[in-house]
Amino acid sequence: MTATDRRSTRRAPAAAHRPRLPAVAVDPVPERPAGGTTWQSLERLGGTVTGVHGRDWRPRYLQLAEELRVKITSGELAPGTLMPSETELADTSGLSRTSVRNAIRQLREWGLVRAEQGRGTYVRAPRQRVRRRNAERYQWEKDRVLLDEEERVKTGATEHDTGLTVDDLKFHAEFTRVKADADMAAALQVEPGAPLLRRVYWTSSRHENAPLTMSYSYLPYDLVAANPDLLDASKEPWPGGSQHQLYTVGVELDRIDEEVRARPPSPDEAELLDIDPGVSVLTVRKTSIDTTGRVVEVADVVMPGDRTELVYSHKLQRWKT
């Protein structure tokens, strides 16, 4: 069988290319993609399928991706399951391995599976949404500062967010002294080249799907140098958190600003946070301002976009009647 023969036999059952438009015509107003806590929000990611007697005009790799998505979200392929190998899927689906790989790339971008070289492709567990209640968390942290150390040690900020105990988490910290680049100089309102303390943290967990986070924090070096303990990474995690650290050098916070963005992960971040490149990270740039109006810390927090949920609450003032 020549290559040309094979292609023409395929054309009968296939019809791989759609004449465009049904997606919009059938469904002019996009459905609301529910922001659920499990696989729910992936319902409509595959695109619009044509009506009852209509043909499925989507490319075949997307059809395969959709088939597999249904098997996963329905539970037929349970979390942790080893998927059929690409070669096997190619055989059973009648597609080439390239097309099978295209389908699997979709599943990976949807966060449904993870591929491991040499081992196979595994079904991920549904995303366990982690709420980061930032607004109330900062006040809670501030209130704790003036408590006894014994009291502060008991639980830290990460546990407050996640409900996990200290034993579940591995904690990494690394401190360096750096010079402010243009970006940081502007953010911290210091001269470019000014000495900064750079702190890189990350938390990890043995639990599947546990929340992971990494953050890059910058403080004016002179500010923290007043307490040598603050320069020592081995003293982390500090009992009482960031705000208590600043308290030891005479700083009281007045305001915390946060800028939330989404962007693709760097390769390093993808590995550490256990996400596919292609799945976005959520980033929060946290700027802490003290009661004298100084910027005392700028921190970039990076979180896996498919597992994180940030919660903010805005209280409004009453009307004067």
Instruction: Please report, as ranges, the residues that interact with DNA according to CB under 7 A.
Output: 3-4, 6-7, 10-11, 16-21, 59-62, 83, 85-88, 94-99, 101-102, 104, 115-121
Give me the 75-114 binding string for a copy of itself, x by CB under 8 A, dash otherwise: ----------------------------------xx----
- Distance of alpha carbon 229 from alpha carbon 226, whole angstroms: 9
Residue 185 near a copy of itself by CB under 8 A: no
Site membership for a copy of itself, residue 255 (CB under 8 A): yes
Q: Minimum distance between the CB of residue 307 and a copy of itself, rounded to whole angstroms?
A: 10
CB of 304 to DNA, least distance (A): 18
Between 239 and 278, CB nearer to DNA: 278
Which of 121/242 has CB closer to DNA?
121
Site membership for a copy of itself, residue 177 (CB under 8 A):
no
In the complex with a copy of itself, which residue's Cβ is closer, 31 or 116? 31
**Sequence-distant (≥ 6) Cβ neighbours of residue 194 within 8 angstroms:** 179, 180, 185, 188, 220, 221
**Closest CA relative to residue 210, chosen from 160, 171, 173, 169:** 169
**How many C-beta neighbours within 10 Å does residue 220 have?**
20
- CA angle centred on 25, ends 23 and 31, rounded to 5°: 60
Find which of a copy of itself, DNA, none residue 200 binds, CB within 5 to 8 Å per kind.
a copy of itself
Q: DSSP labels for 96-123?
A: -HHHHHHHHHHHHHTTSEEEETTTEEEE
For residue 263, give both structure tokens. 């962007």
Q: Which is nearer to a copy of itself, 154 or 255 (CB)?
A: 255
Tokens of 210: 């546990």
Question: Do residues 178 and 149 lie in contact, with contact meaning Cβ atoms separated by under 8 Å?
Answer: no
**264 cis-preceded (ω within 30 degrees of 0):** no
The smaller minimum CB distance to a copy of itself, of residues 170 and 261, is found at: 261
Residues 273-312 that bind a copy of itself (CB under 8 A): 277-283, 285, 291, 300, 302, 305-306, 308-312
